[in-house]
Amino acid sequence: MVHAQFDNTARQALAVKAVDAKIRKDLSWQRIADAAGLSVAFVTAAVLGQHPLPTASAEAVAALLDLDADDTLTLQTIPTRGSIPGGIPTDPTIYRFYEMLQVYGTTLKALVHEQLGDGIISAINFKLDVKKVADPEGGERAVITLDGKYLPTKPF
């Protein structure tokens, strides 16, 4: 049976426990995703409390991180999503995403609507990828791909 949570406290506590185990075992998110058999972005989000994992994936992640049966079950529940508490984020990395949306949010909205029409980009039917690439001017660049299904607004 599928179960949903109404409070994210249990998922937050599990995320802390899982990240502690990840650090203790010196594992990468990619290694955990490989065990789960799913994408690194999805598994990372799931372990951090934003998605449920399918049973086999939850069991594999729990085994890798030495989590117990209750944790395995919790990994499978539908969470109350949202990982940033109210207000402006203070973590510098998260803040930069907030800043990008402050600067480019209306541009993204205008371009999405012009090219696709009135609707939204799904964060449920969604893929995320992060890649490090060389910067021709020296150093490195981050290429972040947000790939969400377009859902048109339907009159009713």
**pTM to 2 decimal places:** 0.84
Which active-site residues does the annotation give? 96, 99, 122
Q: Which residues of 91-115 are buried (b: 16+ CB within 10 A; e: fewer)?
A: eeeeeeeeeeeeeeeeeeeeebeee
Percent of the chain predicted with pLDDT > 90: 84
Instruction: Give the span between the Cα atoms of 65 and 112, in whole angstroms.
Output: 40
Instruction: Give the span between the Cα atoms of 113 and 94, in whole angstroms.
Output: 26
Q: Which residues of the chain have pLDDT under 70?
A: none
Q: Would you state the pLDDT for residue 86?
A: 81
Q: Would you state the pLDDT for residue 81?
A: 86
Per-residue pLDDT tens for 51-82?
A: 999 999 999 999 999 999 999 999 999 998 88
Residue in 119, 123, 126 with CA at minimum distance from that of residue 147? 126
